[in-house]
Amino acid sequence: MLGDRKAQGYNDYEGKPFTRPALWDDAAKALQQGMEVQTQLTGGKPFTYDFCPQDDYYLKSHLFGDIFASAQFSATDRELVTVAALSSLKGVEPQLAAHNPFVLFYFSYICTQNGINKHLINMDKIVLITGATSGIGLGCARKFAENGDRLILTGRNAQKLEEIRQELTAKGTEVITLVFDVRDREKATRLMDELPAEWQAVDVLVNNAGLALGLEPEYEGDLDEWETMIDTNIKGLLTMTRLVVPGMVKRNRGHIINVGSVAGDAAYAGGNVYCASKAAVKALTDGLRIDVADTAIRVTNLKPGLVETNFSNVRFRGDKERAKKLYTGIMPLTGDDIADVAVYAANAPEHVQIAEVLILATHQASGSVIVRK
């Protein structure tokens, strides 16, 4: 028990003032959150607890003050409120350690006693990334994994997804892979519905899946390729948004990161339909941000410029030499560069919304102005 170890943290901090986050003063709200956490983590089973008098005194006098003095809060309520309060903190362990190491030890104790993995209590995020098998999507998978998050990776290539899953799980990241094309709304819906309960509360949605096909003038364009771009870049993004965001609204938390493009700001020669699709991404991102402005959900549009990925190979229908020439004379961005911005946006303070970021190579001024040396 905590008290049996003479609670080093308690002895060090006894009598010193303790600043409580504002949410902790809202006992009713914290209790409700705690009940939701309990249901999610233990299937409704009660938490176990075993306080000694010293622990109980410390919690009452230093952690929650008058809240626990109220007769309406039982020992179980106290446990629920504590878990809820701790789970409401972003990056809970570092913040608790800064406040009081005893509280951090107590938090770990709660988790251990109840068989709860701390990451399930918002210690990290569940991040869903579409188009995760290459380029920006793969960069995001690796960077969010380095950040300690759990990943749901989607893509069309089952073999590549499995290779990435093995790579990341070998480094300690929890990964689920879903094989589907974002154009296939029925399959996307079915696989999302089949996610295990502990994976359904997606915290960050990275709508990355997208492509460009061809650089022909609009009057010579391929109608099937146009349809593929529109169905992937616009309708696929809408499908994933519709599947994931309602849960975020219900939980009043979440972040949508849409991967747009500098091409959405202004058209360039041969870009026509692709540019139009990325302009749509900007409009949809702005519209969603307006729609959720009364919630704690954040919405970001990342607009990369010249990025060296498999994107150009696809655009030029497998002509690798032509794709390679696109990057001649300039050091382009990489998928990791864009992923760094995505991770930064997702981990910004909760009152900060990174609404839109234009990311260009140093010698690129716009979608059509590139200085090659």
Active site residues: 274
Q: Measured between alpha carbons, how far is 123 from 121 in angstroms, rounded to an integer? A: 5
Cα dihedral across residues 227, 239, 282, 315: positive or negative = negative
End-to-end alpha carbon distance in the chain: 67
Q: Which residues contact 277 (CB under 8 A, 6 or more apart)?
A: 210, 229, 230, 233, 234
DSSP label at residue 114:
T
DSSP label at residue 19:
P
153 SS3 class? strand
